[in-house]
Amino acid sequence: MGCPAKKVIGGYAGSALMREPDHALSLIEATVKAVKIPVTVKMRLGWDEMSINAPEIASRAEAAGVQLITVHGRTRMQFYEGRANWDAIAAVRDAIRIPLIANGDVETVADAEEILRRSGADAVMVGRGCQGRPWHAGVLAGQDGPAASEIPNLVVEHYRAMLEHYGVEVGVRHARKHLGWYLERYAPGLAPDAKAAIMTSKNAEDVAKALEHSLAAALGPGARQEAA
């Protein structure tokens, strides 16, 4: 119940469900009854600033048997604009006794500590902060991230793993958004034509070679700093 994308809410799914709490609860209740594993719910604060109903829906979801709630600190109408309202998540904490996870704009250890303090949540979910650096959740938990010099090989390894998992034809397409995130984060100065070649080529080996070369050139030989 958190996705704000038009193609999702157009089907009365995602965060559109927050406009219809009774319908949302009927889906939650049906899911809880249909499975033997714990059911969790992710939501936003509400549809817009005039309808902040996350505390109400979370309380009803808990009564229906949901075991954990995650709240992204924006309304649907905010999409990803502005800053997530970490303080507003605290109202959900007050409304439920089950575990609460806080989400939105967590990029650093300091962010994680602050969102926990202000929301009263039990844990943190990191989404966009891990785009282009999937190891970042581990860094926030105190683990060492890769050295910059290791990143080109890691990215190519990730790319090849996706091809193996999905098959080359489908994997090349699925991998593109990940490659875009890597390039935006670590090679923002890459020439547009070079980036376009990586993002549109259907030749997996050509993509892997160009990707490794572009990242290695951007990060510099022998770079030793941790990837942020």
Q: Is 130 a catalytic residue?
A: no
Q: Which of 200, 205, 208 is nearest to 177 (CA)?
A: 200
Q: Which of 95, 91, 99 is nearest to 73 (CA)?
A: 91
Measured between alpha carbons, how far is residue 223 from residues 65, 149, 155 in Å? 50, 5, 16
Q: Which of 141, 157, 227 is nearest to 185 (CA)?
A: 227
Strand partners of residue 76 = none
CB 39 within 8 A of CB 66: yes
Amino acid at 77: M
- Collapsing DSSP states into helix, strand and coil, what is residue 157? helix
Determine which one of 1, 2, 3, 228 is catalytic.
3
Other CB atoms within a 10 A radius of the CB of residue 71 amount to 33
CB 163 within 8 A of CB 171: yes
Residues marked as catalytic: 3
